[in-house]
Structure 1
Amino acid sequence: MTILFAPQDPVLAATSDGNLFPVRRVFCIGRNYAAHAREMGRDPDREPPFFFTKWAETVVSTGTTIAYPSETANFHYEAELVLAIGKGGRNIAAADALDRVYGYATGLDMTRRDLQLEAREKGRPWSTGKNVEQSSPLGLIHPASETGPFDSGSIKLTVNGVVKQDADLNELIWDVPDVVAYVSRFYRLEPGDLIYTGTPAGVGAVVAGDEVVVSIAGLSDCVVKVGAPAND
């Protein structure tokens, strides 16, 4: 048998010590900060966080100019702490979760907000709003042996130097161990999986030409520029 076309190259994320981390899957936690849940019109006391998935190919490295996506007029930033899984497992206990984390990074969950809200109102999946090309920018992955565990610390996002999101990781509803434990109840986590842990309040729109910077105390920044729409 003949392979009909070349398979897709693996998505490789850079680490702070010069290695490459092959990305397998992307899990994203939704409404994991109470203030953000409220700004999205939800009650965090009644509706717990949840998660959705994105393709690995949505991950791009810090320093990338990402194309403004099609079919939206409301493209939003969301700053996130990202977990890089190095050891897999199913039904992982929260007490054992940190042992499964290879490292941590800054990241962005870029969102076609208008399409996400339209889908939400109709009770449809969020795929067109969330699972978007170049929508998961990622900073350098810092090995857990060198940093963490990120149960507190500043998380901040700026657009063109102006602070838009400014919170503390201790505001996470589900902390890092809880997030790993919860996702592993539904899927066997594997080395190479990334978990975007949720965004604080202050999300908003960007336009072509904007520069977005995510900073988390103890990690390298994730920096992207928003470019013109792709024309291919």
Structure 2
Amino acid sequence: MMTNLFSIFDPSTSIMNMKMNWISSMIGIMMLPTYFWLMNNRYSMMVMKPLILLNKEFKILMNMKNNKGTTLMFVMLFSLIMINNIMGLFPYLFTSTSHLTMTLTMALPMWLAFMLFGWLKNTENMLIHLVPTGTPTVLMPFMVCIETISNIIRPGTLSVRLAANMIAGHLILTLLGNTTMNISMNMMWIMLIIQMMLLMLETAVAIIQGYVFAVLSTLYASEVN
């Protein structure tokens, strides 16, 4: 039973040794460039206005007034994660963000780039971050060890947080869907209402997790600048 339950997260569908399930993560990316060829309309404004507001918020978090365009990377990261999370709620579409292969690929190179930039360009600033302000002299060696460990595990916490939240919601929906097949017609309406509410909750979680991933990445970038 457990093998069948977790098989929804297994990208095993293949044609001619090509992993077809991973193509679902590219559908949203292929749809985005069409905005560059369309005139402004209500639909495009509905999509772009939240991204513009998010870009302004990231600029405040990074406190970078001179480097224009720096926050666009994090806005696109939010868009990529949100689109993949929401598309995973549709039937027969694979949720790529539920795999560490996808989440760790986004978190690890970005964290590594931040660390290399910080230690090569702002070494003194990085050393200051290892000892919080007001730390007693006796506790300074322990704080350096704690801060070093917390910096090292950052890509793991980013990727595991996103993957675990996606897996948890999909598992609940799968369990309820399997249970619905074996209940009476009177209880089926109640189960359908519960599933619809959970689907709305998962849609909110999909957006929130993309926002959390992007905001934490922005904060990590602001520390090394």
Do they fold alike, i.e. is TM over 0.5? Answer: no
- Point out the structure with the larger strand share: 1
Q: Report the structure number with the largest CA radius of gyration.
A: 2
